A and B are shown apart, each in its own frame.
Chain A
Amino acid sequence: MDEKSQHLDSIRDIKKMMERSSRFISLSGLSGVAAGICALVGAWFGYGIVHGSHGDEIRNNLLRLRDKEGDISLADYAGNSLLKIGLLTFAAAFVSAFIFTYIRSRKNHTPLWGTTARRLMVNVCVPIAAGGIYLLTLLKYGVFGLIAPGCLIFYGLALINASKYTLVEIRYLGYGQLILGIINLAYPGYGLYFWAFGFGILHIVYGTVMWWKYERNSGDESAVHNQ
């Protein structure tokens, strides 16, 4: 019926505009997959260092650092290859995630940078920055066992916070990271495994599901349309 479809269209338009103007909807599932792969590669290198031929040497160095004065300065850490791998992994994940989201925003004809993107960034960055400062303090006191769970917990909280400003499903990824981090607290020696599972596997699973749900039939105008 013509009149009916006209009203349905109106309601669909209203919903779409509300979503578009208040949430950042260009976040691509492939970004999650790419970030997950980067994390797994990073964890692989990290594993090589922790359990490789130099593993004992590095661990002893860390222990010596911890026993030296109680506190460890950041300068002592700057040379640490694990920290370098961590930073490099983060940079690679960020760049590759950005590329896929950029491509998607082109496809959807939605601006990449606007009020919604800015709001999302602020709401992700606040918990991440607080977490970063907290984790650096843990490093300073040599509490290495709490670093990986800390990363997962703060990242999880950031994602849960972010879900109000982008695709809501990201909340489940946040809960996953949070739970993983809390479990990790009970197994402090296995941080690298938990870290790889959270940042690697969970990202890939989330990204694949999101891609399947929203982007599989490419050419779709926006995520909202597919619901």
Chain B
Amino acid sequence: MKNPIEHLNKVFDSRIRLGIMSSLMVNEEVSFNELKELIQVTDGNLASHLKTLEEHKFVKVQKGFIGRKTNTTYSITKSGEKAFKSHIEALEQMLKFLE
């Protein structure tokens, strides 16, 4: 049997990135502040993880305004969805493999 560990995506190693991807999978878009509340991290920490995901083209950013306040929302890209799904599959495979 092939070792499924090679299918695990290194980008999703952090809990925060897992959290971001999970909530973007089930919502069309999520704002920065909502992500912050959901995952309970600091602004800077969340921003840097979002940046990494953005660089991998797994998430896309929409900048907008609510009144005069900036409202940044994030959504998942097609390739992000695909990568995350195969990551979950790999996790499941790993669990079976380790049994």
17 contacts between A and B (CB under 8 A): A1-B98, A3-B94, A4-B95, A4-B98, A7-B94, A8-B95, A11-B88, A11-B91, A14-B22, A17-B38, A17-B39, A21-B38, A22-B23, A22-B26, A114-B37, A115-B27, A115-B30
Check A13 against B91 for contact (C-beta < 8 Å).
no
A10 touches B22 (CB 8 A): no
Decide yes or no whether B64 CB sits under 8 A from chain A: no
| Cβ-neighbour of B18 out of A1, A3, A8, A14 (below 8 A) | A14
Q: Assess whether A186 is interfacial by the CB under 8 Å rule.
A: no
Can you list, as one digit per residue, whether each of B75-99 has a CB less than 8 Å from chain A (1) or not (0)? Answer: 0000000000000100110110011
**Would you list the 8 A-B pairs with minimal beta carbon distance, nearest first?**
A21-B23, A17-B22, A22-B26, A4-B98, A14-B22, A17-B19, A18-B26, A18-B22
**A23's closest neighbor in chain B, by CB?**
B26
Q: What's the minimum C-beta distance from B89 to chain A, rounded to whole angstroms?
A: 11
What residues of chain B lie closer than 8 Å to A109, measured between beta carbons? 40
Q: Is the interface of B mostly helix, strand, loop or mixed?
A: helix
- Give complex CA distance A71, B34 in Å: 50
B92 surroundings in chain A (CB, below 8 A): 11
B75 smallest CB distance to A (angstroms): 13
Minimal Cβ-Cβ distance residue in B for A13: B18
B34-86 interface (Cβ within 8 A of A): 34, 37-40
Q: Are B98 and A17 in contact, with the CB atoms below 8 A?
A: no
Q: How many B residues are at the interface, by size bracket?
A: 20 to 34
Q: B residues bordering A, Cβ < 8 Å? A: 15, 18-19, 21-23, 25-27, 30, 34, 37-40, 88, 91-92, 94-95, 98-99
B29 to chain A: closest residue by CB: A115
Q: Are B91 and A7 in contact (CB under 8 A)?
A: yes
Q: A16 vs B19: C-alpha distance in the bound complex, in angstroms?
A: 9
Chain A nearest CB from B95 CB (Å) reads 5
**Apart from A11-B95, A13-B15, A115-B30, what 7 extra A-B contacts exist at CB < 8 Å?**
A13-B22, A17-B22, A17-B38, A18-B22, A18-B23, A21-B38, A111-B37
Tell whether, in the assembled complex, residue A17 and residue B91 are in contact, meaning their CB atoms are under 8 Å apart.
no
- In angstroms, Cα B25 to Cα A15, docked, is 11
Question: Which chain B residues lie closer than 8 Å to A11 at the CB level?
Answer: 88, 91-92, 95
Q: Which of B25, B30, B34, B91 contacts A10 (CB 8 A)?
A: B91
In the assembled complex, A140 has its CB within 8 A of some CB on chain B? no
Query: B88 — which chain A residues lie within 8 A by C-beta?
Result: 11, 14
Chain A residue nearest to B20 (CB atoms) is: A17
Residues of B within 8 A of A15 (CB): 22
